[in-house]
Amino acid sequence: MDQDQNQERRGPSDEGVSQNDEGGGGGGGGGGFRGPRGPREQRRITISDPGLINYKNIEFLRQFVTDQGKIRPRRQTGITARHQRLIANAVKRARHLALLPFDREMDRR
């Protein structure tokens, strides 16, 4: 009699369908396999003096900008969130004043 009650709760359409038969694989978000690229390169830059983070210090700011002119993320540079915000503001300010180009390739032409 217990089996009949359980079948009534599940319903007739649930027979033969396992819990894991959801479409598209499970596990929320992107997969863990990185592919042939391997692990990411970690650059650890230490900033001993936050006074170095200034929009006028172009050579210092260039190590935080890619060849395409994008600001490198924290996970690549390894700096703190506070310093990342200061660097982002300094890079944007330097771009606005034309001290740092928006596209780094323009620098080479």
pLDDT tens track for 3-56: 666 555 655 555 554 455 545 555 555 555 556 666 656 666 677 787 889 999
The structural domains of the chain, with segments of one domain joined by +, span 40-109
Q: pTM for this one?
A: 0.57
The model's pLDDT over 41-99, given as tens digits with 9 standing for 90+, comes to 666 667 778 788 999 999 999 999 998 999 999 999 889 999 999 999 999 999 999 99
Angle at 101 between CA 100 and CA 102, to 5 degrees: 120
4: DSSP letter:
H
Q: Write down the CATH number for the domain with range 40-109.
A: 4.10.640.10
**Distance of CA 11 to CAs 2, 16, 19, 109, Å?**
14, 11, 14, 71
Q: What is the pLDDT of residue 84?
A: 94
